[in-house]
Structure 1
């Protein structure tokens, strides 16, 4: 039984990383604390450096990677934002580091629990993104992530995302692979023309003209698109070695589904339970879970949603002036389908670790059914709050003097 954080630490350990760049932040500190302990006891033969900030941490991680070291790092929330400039720098260097982000709310009001505003803000930085539902997936995605990042057709950094608290501190059964298995799957890291001092090499020099700049940016884009196809090759090999199979998208009970819920990360377990409950009642509903968000699996998503009447998009982020960050990408993926769903309905839930359950899944499907019948699709996201949570919020609003009617977009289940 391992927590999500311990699963991430074990992923770095069995990947036999050479360099750990660290800076603690809740809720990921357990990862780097564990790696610090293992390097000090000799259980992990790696260089561990605790930096003065996440900006320095990510920059050093990228530089170490270019020398030929396999590099691991981790952060969360404000830490990821403090390193934001360096994310683009490291991706532009084509440094294949692996970063675990433990998703947590950003800014004020402060919350330590899960929200995806941090990781999704970085979706266009050049980092490939894999999103884990379970502790086992967290460990497995680290191994898959290294193989993907270090592939010479790709050479881009990978971010593995897991949910803060909901997964980072949850204990689940996890199979730690044998060293021989990992060696069979993950070859030693070998960077082409590393910065060793043996020859003169320059990476990411300043561009004074637009054409060469465009060339290098397009090379990153092309590599990121290719990463989806390389991922599929890698997971076939992963299945051969470890007996567990993955794809960029999980389709659950979608074969005859009339309605579908699109989601990602750990709350997918709750949505899966809700889908099962509805199926027992005869409702034809399924779930499409995004494992990969960069590159975005638009073709696979469109195929998974063929034939459905309506789609509920469940997200754990809320962008002022926009809504859910992934909703427009999902709509775009469905736009060119010959027979598109009649409705794609946005929902926001689980912010800051707020509870949802099978009732919320049933409610999302009811809204989708209504949208199909009336032809009226909600244009703004519905916030999902449970009845007990809504009652507590109403009392807090009364104490604060804020009129409850200002929360008119909130649905209480």
Structure 2
């Protein structure tokens, strides 16, 4: 529902992707709460383009061959639309909360208010991560979790602000970037922290490839690694694989 409103906004008009991690989640059964059709239709609305092919008094080209003289400006315009998407996403989320009671932002903070150890994660494994944080909190460990909702445009400044008091950080990538030193989320988070002059001890993990199960025990081992970094003062290998057979 929100995706239509965001992508069709006059200040954006870019394709939008809603991503779901697999494999298990695509074969699972879960209760969901649906909104009434009339509420959904009113919220999404009708798309009324300002420009369209058969508007005879205002002709324009769609998909023309772009030569060197125009590509740079076209890419700059696309980037401006992407930048605009951040605020539009927040505005649409606020409207959606009014009709559904569900609050969404650029990311979700879970027990981050006083966290010394934090995990940044995307997707379904965040639920397991929250259970892990709850377990560690009962043990007296000041753990927290940040779940990314919007990956492009990347909310770098906002994430850096959310992580500014964290001392030990684990970044979880459910993909392999093949650059030899970090995953895509790891690169984004580290860049955001660097630009904000924040330097928590940071480990990046590749996990869950091909739908490999992610358990509370495996994520708890990540926090154990962070505690080891604290105790030894040494990061060791900064890009690691979780629950992989050697």
Give the deviation of 1:326 after TM superposition: 1.6
Q: SS of the residue aligned with 1:286? A: strand
- Give 1:274-285 correspondences, 5 Å limit: 274-285=132-143
* Cα distance change of structure 1 residues 347 and 209 upon mapping to structure 2, 3 Å threshold: closer
- Give 1:13-32 correspondences, 5 Å limit: none
Q: Is residue 181–residue 242 contact of structure 1 (8 Å, CA) maintained in 2?
A: no
Q: Deviations over 1:156-185 (max 9, x none)?
A: 010000122322221111112112211331
Q: Is residue 348–residue 382 contact of structure 1 (8 Å, CA) maintained in 2?
A: yes
Separation in structure 1 between the aligned mates of residue 125 and residue 19 of structure 2, nearest angstrom: 13
Q: Deviations over 1:107-126 (max 9, x none)?
A: xxxxxxxxxxxxxxxxxxxx
1:264 pairs, out of 84, 97, 122, with 122
Q: Which residue number corresponds to residue 188 of structure 2?
A: 329
Q: Is residue 174–residue 209 contact of structure 2 (8 Å, CA) maintained in 1?
A: yes
- Give 1:77-116 correspondences, 5 Å limit: none
Give the deviation of 1:234 after TM superposition: 0.5
2:24 pairs, out of 160, 166, 182, with 166
How many residue pairs are counted as aligned between the two chains?
Answer: 244
Q: SS of the residue aligned with 1:260? A: strand
In structure 1, the gaps of 5 or more residues are: 1-142, 394-406, 408-413
Separation in structure 2 between the aligned mates of residue 310 and residue 329 of structure 1, nearest angstrom: 17
Give the deviation of 1:145 after TM superposition: 0.5
Q: Which residue number corresponds to residue 155 of structure 1?
A: 13
The normalised TM-score by structure 1 is 0.56
Q: Which residue number corresponds to residue 184 of structure 1?
A: 42
Q: SS of the residue aligned with 1:312? A: strand
Q: Which residue number corresponds to residue 402 of structure 1?
A: none
The normalised TM-score by structure 2 is 0.93
Q: Which residue number corresponds to residue 30 of structure 1?
A: none
In structure 2, the gaps of 5 or more residues are: none
Q: SS of the residue aligned with 2:25? A: coil
Separation in structure 1 between the aligned mates of residue 179 and residue 16 of structure 2, nearest angstrom: 29
Q: Which residue number corresponds to residue 145 of structure 1?
A: 3
- Could you say what the CA RMSD is over the residues aligned between the two structures, in angstroms? 1.7
Give the deviation of 1:380 after TM superposition: 4.3
Structure 1 segments (4+ residues) deviating >6 Å = none
Separation in structure 2 between the aligned mates of residue 288 and residue 344 of structure 1, nearest angstrom: 14
Q: Deviations over 1:216-259 (max 9, x none)?
A: 11010011011011100111100111111100100000000001
Separation in structure 1 between the aligned mates of residue 190 and residue 167 of structure 2, nearest angstrom: 14
2:67 pairs, out of 195, 199, 208, with 208
Q: Which residue number corresponds to residue 232 of structure 1?
A: 90
Q: SS of the residue aligned with 2:147? A: strand
Separation in structure 2 between the aligned mates of residue 350 and residue 209 of structure 1, nearest angstrom: 42
Separation in structure 1 between the aligned mates of residue 211 and residue 119 of structure 2, nearest angstrom: 19
